[in-house]
Chain A
Amino acid sequence: MKLFEPISLLEQVSQIYELPENVVQRLTHEILMAELPWKEAYSDYQSSGWKTASLLNASGHSRDVVISDCKAVGTEALKLMPATENLIRSLNLDIMWARVARLEPNSFIWEHRDFAELKKVPRLRLHIPLQTHPDSYLVLAGQRIFMKSGFIWKLNPTFPHGVCNRGPVTRLHLILDCYVNETLRRWLESERLDPSLTQKLPVTDVNPVLSKASALMNLGFNSCAESLLLKTFHSSLQDEGKSYDYIIKSYQDKRETGLAKQWMSKKQVFLNQGVRA
């Protein structure tokens, strides 16, 4: 019997550490009660609805949420959450940045690669899902992956990925960007991926979506059309960058060359294809 997904997927995402349910509950409670100073950053990369608050970062200010290489210090938000701080400190990880992230219902993070702007040193992103729903899922390697709570998840975000929350509740994750150290290396030795949490995306006919987008553009609803096309990444199996190609092609068909060029640049930046905006 095949216990784990193929190695390529495991390289990108895995469960690396199990967390007791009461710890997850305690952390969730703290975050819900803390009235964190949520900030929406990376707005080009999302539909809106993805907000974060930093717990460990370069400045010690929770509203500084754009990540960078640093020696992380605790923020004022971390002081409001002793159980969360205890857990983070007890893990013995070399944390570069720690954030709480909330993804509201009907919110999407578009296909992208992370860490391009950072130093080329071994690092990984760890997710600790706290409040979630099977319809809030990560998309990568043509799979939808439900990051179930009760685990610390590893994500290598240098591979193209996106996220969506099609469920009814706000998704809350604690995100730790870490330099790879001994602890993390040890955890990686026993990483796994429960196949029941992954699902291959179907191959779908994209033509009806393209027609809808074209009609929206004819009426002037460009941003609705763009969202519709970007979301093809989250629901159907397609090649890297295809959702951006659909937008570019749609604008080219409408002879909107300026908008088509804008999206070519965005595609290159979002997917780290060598050119900066």
Chain B
Amino acid sequence: MDEQKTGVFESRGESMMPTIPIKELLLAQPPVQFVYLEKLLTIFSVSPKLHSAYVRGSIARNDYDRVSDIDLVLAFEPEAFASAVESLDTIMQQSFSTLFSGWLDRIVPDFGGLGYVYLIQAGEKILQIDLYLLPSDRLNKLLSVRGVTRVYENNVKASSNSVPECNDEYIRSKISAPVTQESILFEIVVLAHLLKKRIKRGQTLLNHSETVMLHRAFRDLIRKTLDPAYFAYGWYHFSENSRKSEIFAKWAAAIETVVHKYAVHDSTSLLETMKLVAAFIDETCPEIFKPVGVSLNYCIENLRRGEL
């Protein structure tokens, strides 16, 4: 078989083609996640306040595929932690084509800090970057997780004034900050991106879990916009309150249909649901659409092309 193949190449005059070892090929054309991981480390390691950096998730476990995200943990000196979190959006926006501000990750395990999800334009594709920031005096929990790998360590140790209480308070304030229409919309776009991966990989149960989360986030957007006083009530009083206004009744019916129809999403139903989200915003809160509309439309366009 091999001889036959060699013969074909030779007959085409390709025997002169140089042989490149796989290792070199991989170095010359690394998977996109590694290209961006290196960029991220280059960007963040300029800060003398960065103590260390770690990869976790599929890259650390070496079971990533072409749609895998990047999970990077950045440990900052405790006194710089809050300032680093506050500057994170700006750093990401100055360095990459981000689709929107970081979405406070409510899915990631608690390692003692704060996680943010970014979707960035990487060539023709969208790449998900999960950044987890934590103060360097609370690395124990992270380091007890199997597979977490250190990828950067600052050799010049800063003289650190530990401020654990302030950081606790700061983290609590971020987690308990009220959600906004914009942050719900970012959550929806992130979930759509995650679902696309589940569909590609055939991960039915994760698909179901994130489908439910997507529908819940859509409900939250409807509630935040049309029934903010009852936002904290979840599905309770949703149907009853929706009867009070025509526009609320219309969108309550729309989401009920989506929930009825889809326990898991496929590409078509996901696209349909995202178009529904866009139509809802268009009709009820176009003012939030202006800053985020480009991202949402871009997301929908990518879903249509199957590239999100």
A-side interface residues toward B, CB under 8 Å? Answer: 105-106, 135, 168, 212, 215-216, 218-224, 227-228
A221-B43, A221-B46 given; name 10 further pairs at CB < 8 Å: A106-B97, A168-B294, A212-B87, A215-B86, A219-B83, A219-B84, A220-B48, A220-B49, A221-B47, A224-B94
Taking the closest CB of chain A, its distance from the CB of B302, in whole angstroms, is 9
Residues of A within 8 A of B298 (CB): 168
For the complex, give the distance between the alpha carbons of A168 and B90 in Å.
19
Taking the closest CB of chain A, its distance from the CB of B84, in whole angstroms, is 6
Show 23 residue pairs from A and B whose CB-CB distance is below 8 angstroms, ordered by the A residue. Answer: A105-B97, A105-B121, A106-B96, A106-B121, A135-B294, A168-B121, A168-B298, A212-B87, A215-B83, A215-B86, A216-B91, A219-B49, A219-B80, A220-B48, A220-B49, A221-B47, A221-B87, A221-B91, A223-B46, A224-B43, A224-B94, A224-B95, A227-B94
Taking the closest CB of chain B, its distance from the CB of A35, in whole angstroms, is 15
B84-116 residues with Cβ-Cβ distance < 8 A to A are 84, 86-87, 90-91, 94-97
Interchain pairs with CB closer than 8 A, number: 44
For the complex, give the distance between the alpha carbons of A204 and B92 in Å.
22
CB closest residue in chain A, given B97: A106
B153-188 residues with Cβ-Cβ distance < 8 A to A are none
For the complex, give the distance between the alpha carbons of A219 and B94 in Å.
15
A219 touches B121 (CB 8 A): no
For the complex, give the distance between the alpha carbons of A263 and B203 in Å.
53
For the complex, give the distance between the alpha carbons of A168 and B301 in Å.
11
For the complex, give the distance between the alpha carbons of A218 and B298 in Å.
35
Taking the closest CB of chain B, its distance from the CB of A154, in whole angstroms, is 30
For the complex, give the distance between the alpha carbons of A220 and B96 in Å.
18
Identify the 6 closest CB pairs spanning chains A and B, nearest first.
A106-B97, A220-B47, A224-B94, A227-B94, A105-B97, A219-B47
Query: Of residues B43, B83, B95, B97, which shows the largest number of chain A Cβ atoms within 10 Å of its Cβ?
Result: B97
Residues of B within 8 A of A219 (CB): 47, 49, 80, 83-84, 87
A228 touches B90 (CB 8 A): yes
A216 touches B80 (CB 8 A): no
B69-85 residues with Cβ-Cβ distance < 8 A to A are 80, 83-84
B46 contact from A212, A220, A227, Cβ within 8 A: A220
CB closest residue in chain A, given B46: A220
Residues of A within 8 A of B49 (CB): 219-220
A216 touches B90 (CB 8 A): yes
CB closest residue in chain A, given B48: A220
A212 contact from B84, B90, B96, Cβ within 8 A: B90
For the complex, give the distance between the alpha carbons of A83 and B294 in Å.
34
B87 contact from A105, A216, A222, A227, Cβ within 8 A: A216
For the complex, give the distance between the alpha carbons of A218 and B81 in Å.
12
For the complex, give the distance between the alpha carbons of A168 and B86 in Å.
26
Taking the closest CB of chain B, its distance from the CB of A40, in whole angstroms, is 16
Taking the closest CB of chain A, its distance from the CB of B254, in whole angstroms, is 28
Residues of B within 8 A of A218 (CB): 83
For the complex, give the distance between the alpha carbons of A86 and B61 in Å.
55
Taking the closest CB of chain B, its distance from the CB of A207, in whole angstroms, is 15
Residues of B within 8 A of A227 (CB): 94
CB closest residue in chain B, given A105: B97
For the complex, give the distance between the alpha carbons of A219 and B294 in Å.
31
Residues A222 and B90 in contact in the complex (CB < 8 Å), given A105-B97, A106-B121: no
CB closest residue in chain A, given B80: A219
CB closest residue in chain A, given B99: A168
A228 touches B94 (CB 8 A): yes
Taking the closest CB of chain A, its distance from the CB of B134, in whole angstroms, is 15
Residues of B within 8 A of A106 (CB): 96-97, 121
Residues of B within 8 A of A221 (CB): 43, 46-47, 87, 91
For the complex, give the distance between the alpha carbons of A83 and B83 in Å.
54
Taking the closest CB of chain A, its distance from the CB of B103, in whole angstroms, is 19
For the complex, give the distance between the alpha carbons of A155 and B94 in Å.
28
Residues of A within 8 A of B86 (CB): 215
For the complex, give the distance between the alpha carbons of A247 and B185 in Å.
34
Residues of A within 8 A of B95 (CB): 224
Residues of A within 8 A of B87 (CB): 212, 215-216, 219, 221, 224
For the complex, give the distance between the alpha carbons of A223 and B39 in Å.
14
Taking the closest CB of chain B, its distance from the CB of A231, in whole angstroms, is 8
B132-170 residues with Cβ-Cβ distance < 8 A to A are none
Query: Of residues A105, A220, A221, A227, which shows the largest number of chain B Cβ atoms within 10 Å of its Cβ?
Result: A221
For the complex, give the distance between the alpha carbons of A216 and B47 in Å.
9
Residues of A within 8 A of B96 (CB): 106
Taking the closest CB of chain B, its distance from the CB of A274, in whole angstroms, is 31
Taking the closest CB of chain A, its distance from the CB of B119, in whole angstroms, is 12
CB closest residue in chain B, given A218: B83
Residues of A within 8 A of B94 (CB): 224, 227-228
For the complex, give the distance between the alpha carbons of A218 and B121 in Å.
28
CB closest residue in chain B, given A227: B94
CB closest residue in chain A, given B44: A221
CB closest residue in chain A, given B84: A219
Taking the closest CB of chain A, its distance from the CB of B250, in whole angstroms, is 31
Residues of A within 8 A of B294 (CB): 135, 168
Taking the closest CB of chain A, its distance from the CB of B20, in whole angstroms, is 20
Residues of A within 8 A of B48 (CB): 220
For the complex, give the distance between the alpha carbons of A215 and B91 in Å.
11
